[in-house]
Amino acid sequence: MPRGWPLCGWSWCLLCLLLPPPAWADDNQVAAEASGVIAEIRFEGNDTTKEVVLRQELTVAPGDPVSRERIEESRQAIMNLGLFKRVRARVEPLGEAPGEGDQIVVFDVSEKWYVLPLPKFDQDADGDYAYGFELTWENFLGYNQRLELLHETTERDDGNKEVKREFAYDIPRIPRTDLGLSLFLRRTDSTPLIEDAVLGDGVYDLQRDSFGWTASRWLTRSGPSRGWRGSVGNDIFKDNYEYQQGVEGLVIDRKIVETWLGAAYHAVYEHPWHREGYEYGWTFAVSSHEFGSDDGYQRLDLFHRGYSHPVFWGNDNLNTQVRLGYGRGYDDEVHAYSIGSSKTLRGYERQPDLRGDVLALVNLEYLKPILGYRSLRGALFADIGNVYDTDAVDLTELEVGGGLGLRWKIRALVRTDLRVDIAWGRDQEDYEIYVGTKQAF
């Protein structure tokens, strides 16, 4: 039986039937050439988005000479925010003589649908079913900020019930500054069965609380939100157990305090139907008893993502991701990395032998429009990699998964691509089906 359907899979399929069909035309553009000096910059169509969000992405300003290249760079920077279905730019004369003297630059945007409430329901092949509600509010209050709320209940076949509540808020860039901020709160309540081959089994109530924040800074205060960005953050995870029945003393409360810092270079360009460019970076995380953590470990992560759109391929895309990671100080029960999911190694379930403290992973995706519809694409993908113990790294021992999929870019919604994948893993007995609303990477 196939596995891996996400909790909101059927809800998204129903939603997409109600949305408009894929469009054909690419209506982003910059108007014809003009000369003179920019006297004023105006915005049209931004009924929700605040003007300050748009202005801080510009590379032109009043008093600059009119330059088609720089106007196009500014238009693309606004498009890269991901908030608009299309962005147009045009130059209009301030006086009566067209194309000469002082000019007005107008950026005309078409806004997306920013508020998305979504019921969630699913049942998998193992007999587990889940239900709940998710609210995503993109471009919150018009400032390109994101608010997410989630309430989800999972009823497992073994009788365990899990209830998860989550709040997340993200500010990619605080207006008129080069700073960003994000935070999340999460609580999960469950009643797991703790098994011990020697002492026996026991049932406990588990309350798992998580909290984290991230502060970031762009190295360029004005102009497009791209280039180098530095980040620092802190995450706290607490597990509190309360004995219910069976054998007592099988588990103890646990607290993890993790502090991390990193840097990334971002040069990805958003187009109506595809992404183009690249990004890469690193993150170093540390957990220490001195910070109040029950564990002490260090972890280094490196990544590179590329999105290619060669002209000679028409509207095809080749997307790649490389991830490398190394962890030290983890105990035998907790590892730095786990693979086997829709975003790591497709075709594999998460399982104990796919956990380790060293990670090597490559993801490849080739996307091609179906019957000329650029918003609807077929996907051919392969995932290659493995996890290892720190003293047993062998890059010749690799797991390989691959398969076929569909991608539907829903232009009316922010950063939403309906994704359906069917994947096979080498030496795996069954295939996996994944449905999601975001790209794999």
How far apart are alpha carbons 67 and 232 in whole angstroms? 38
pLDDT of 4 above 90: no
Question: What pLDDT sits at residue 14?
Answer: 45
pLDDT of 325 above 70: yes
Question: What pLDDT sits at residue 168?
Answer: 98
DSSP conformation letters of 393-436: --TT--EEEEEEEEEEE-TTBTT-EEEEEEEEETT-SSEEEEEE
How far apart are alpha carbons 416 and 19 in whole angstroms? 13
Q: What is the 8-class DSSP label of residue 22? A: P
In the sheet with 84-93, reading across from the earlier edge strand, the strands are 29-30, 84-93, 102-111, 37-44
> What is the chain's length?
441
Mean pLDDT in residue range 36-47: 95
Half-sphere exposure of 127 (CA within 13 A, CB side): 6
Q: Which two tokens stand for residue 152?
A: 């989800």
Q: State whether residue 312 is helix, strand or coil.
A: helix
As a whole number of Å, the CA-based R_g of the chain is 25
Question: What pLDDT sits at residue 235?
Answer: 97
Per-residue pLDDT band for 250 (boundaries 50, 70, 90) equals very high
CB atoms within 10 A of CB 274: 21
Q: What is the 8-class DSSP label of residue 65? A: B
Q: Is the CB of residue 299 less than 8 Å from the CB of residue 279?
A: no
Reported in sequence order, the residue ranges of 172-288 that DSSP labels E, i.e. its strands, are 179-190, 193-196, 200-218, 227-246, 254-270, 275-287
- Tell me the Ramachandran region of residue 87: left when phi exceeds 0, alpha when psi lies from -120 to 50, beta otherwise: beta
How far apart are alpha carbons 227 and 178 in whole angstroms? 12
- Condensed to tens digits (0 to 9), the pLDDT of residues 365-381 reads 999 999 888 889 999 99
Any idea where the domains of the chain sit in the sequence?
Answer: 9-17+113-436, 28-110
Question: What pLDDT sits at residue 371?
Answer: 87
Closest residue by Cα to residue 5 from 105, 122, 134, 179: 122
pLDDT of 95 above 80: no
Mean pLDDT in residue range 347-359: 88
Per-residue pLDDT band for 51 (boundaries 50, 70, 90) equals very high
Q: Do domains 9-17+113-436 and 28-110 have the same CATH topology?
A: no
> C-alpha dihedral over 56, 142, 42, 58, to 10 degrees?
20
CA angle 166, 170, 172 (to 5 degrees): 160
Structure-model confidence comparison of residues 94 and 67, the more confident one: 67
3.10.20.310, 3.40.50.12240, 3.40.120.10, 3.40.640.10: which CATH number matches 28-110? 3.10.20.310
Mean pLDDT in residue range 302-310: 92
pLDDT of 6 above 50: no
How far apart are alpha carbons 158 and 153 in whole angstroms? 15
Lowest mean pLDDT among 84-98, 195-209, 226-240: 84-98
One-letter amino acid at 209 equals D
Half-sphere exposure of 230 (CA within 13 A, CB side): 5
- Condensed to tens digits (0 to 9), the pLDDT of residues 270-291 reads 888 888 999 999 999 999 999 8
Helix, strand, coil abundance in the chain, percent, nearest 5:
10, 55, 35
Mean pLDDT in residue range 342-356: 88
Q: State whether residue 141 is helix, strand or coil.
A: helix
Q: What is the 8-class DSSP label of residue 18? A: H
229 beta partners: 218, 264
Distances (CA, A) of 314 to 28, 30, 310: 18, 22, 7
How far apart are alpha carbons 83 and 19 in whole angstroms? 18
- Condensed to tens digits (0 to 9), the pLDDT of residues 191-230 reads 988 888 899 999 999 999 999 999 999 987 667 888 999 9
Q: Which two tokens stand for residue 32?
A: 């014809």
- Torsion sign across C-alpha atoms 354, 358, 364, 365: positive
385 beta partners: 361, 399
First to last CA, the chain: 26
Fold held by 9-17+113-436: Porin (2.40.160)
How far apart are alpha carbons 103 and 36 in whole angstroms? 7
Distances (CA, A) of 12 to 168, 181, 306, 412, 433: 21, 29, 28, 14, 15
Q: Which two tokens stand for residue 182?
A: 């994000």
Half-sphere exposure of 178 (CA within 13 A, CB side): 14
Q: Which residues contact 313 (CB under 8 A, 6 or more apart)?
A: none
